[in-house]
Amino acid sequence: MKKIIFTENAPKAIGPYSQAIEINGTLYISGQVPVNPETGTMPEGIKDQTAQVMKNIGAILEAAGYTFDHVVKSTCLLGDMDNFQAMNEVYGSYYTENPPARAAYGVVKLPLGAMVEIETIAVK
């Protein structure tokens, strides 16, 4: 049976979706944009935005009883592929050993004018 995951420590959904769904030991985290859940604002710059996205993902992982060690796949969406290296630097600091599989795409536009969005799958 699927379980809806919600935490006040990550931004509320801005549409008809859940922060995350857990089913059969797998956690599917919706794409997270760099909104600070306490202020409702986004930091400036790709590094700070990526750090906020990863904090949001971490909060959802924790709420569901997972850690970054459980992450098996990430999909990174970038509004500008010129930001790939800077995003990668911050993202990589969360996965220093045995990083998950990953795809990264350049897209035309992200929600709320974000520079980065990352969705995540974790398995226990």
Asked if the 3-123 domain carries CATH number 3.30.2320.80, the reply is no
Q: Give the least confident one: 13-17, 57-61, 116-120.
A: 13-17
Q: Is the pLDDT of residue 14 over 90?
A: no
Residues 2, 92 contacting (CB under 8 angstroms): no
Q: Is pTM, for the whole model, over 0.95? A: yes
Among residues of the chain, what percentage have pLDDT more than 70? 100
Q: What is the mean pLDDT of the chain?
A: 97
Buried b (16+ CB within 10 A) or exposed e, 35-44: beeeeeebbe
Sequence spans of domains, the chain: 3-123
The whole-angstrom separation of Cα 85 and Cα 2 is 36
Model pLDDT for residues 60-97, shown as the tens digit of each residue:
999 999 999 999 999 999 999 999 999 999 999 999 99
Q: Are 34 and 116 in contact (CB under 8 A)?
A: yes
